[in-house]
């Protein structure tokens, strides 16, 4: 019976380690490895959450924010990068 209990404890410890590693992996997937700041995936996640909240509590704001999609921001960002590279 002692060996069975030891195996259960080992499996529980492994499960905790897997959960911790999955949490770390999720955090890594939301940040840029070079700068450490939030990336596009994180932006999309937060934007969706905020839009959902706005739809429930501030319908006018939700409508207005739909005018500025993440594609618009990406386009503006790429134009900014072009301007910076042209100035260099």
The number of helix segments (H) and strand segments (E) in the chain equals 4, 0
CA proximity to 42, closest of 54, 57, 52, 32: 32
pLDDT category at 69 given cuts 50, 70, 90 is low
β-bridge partners, 38: 31
Is the pTM of the predicted complex or chain greater than 0.95?
Answer: no
pLDDT score of 36: 85
pLDDT score of 86: 45
- Burial class of 30 by CB neighbour count within 10 A (0 to 12, 13 to 18, 19+): middle
pLDDT at residue 31 greater than cutoff 70: yes
Contact call for residues 5 and 12 (beta carbons, < 8 A)? no
Alpha-carbon distance values, 29 to 23, 24, 43, 53, 78 (Å): 10, 9, 12, 24, 21
pLDDT tens-digit readout, 18-29: 999 999 999 899
pLDDT score of 57: 78
Mean pLDDT confidence for 76-83: 48
């Amino acid at each position: 019976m002692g060996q069975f209990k030891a195996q259960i404890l080992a499996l529980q410890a492994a499960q905790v380690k897997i959960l911790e590693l999955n949490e770390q992996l999720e955090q890594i997937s939301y940040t840029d490895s070079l700068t450490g700041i939030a990336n596009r995936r994180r932006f999309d996640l937060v934007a969706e959450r905020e839009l959902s909240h706005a739809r429930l509590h501030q319908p006018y704001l939700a409508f207005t924010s739909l005018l500025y999609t993440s594609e618009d921001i990406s386009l503006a960002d790429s134009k900014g990068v072009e301007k910076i590279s042209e100035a260099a």
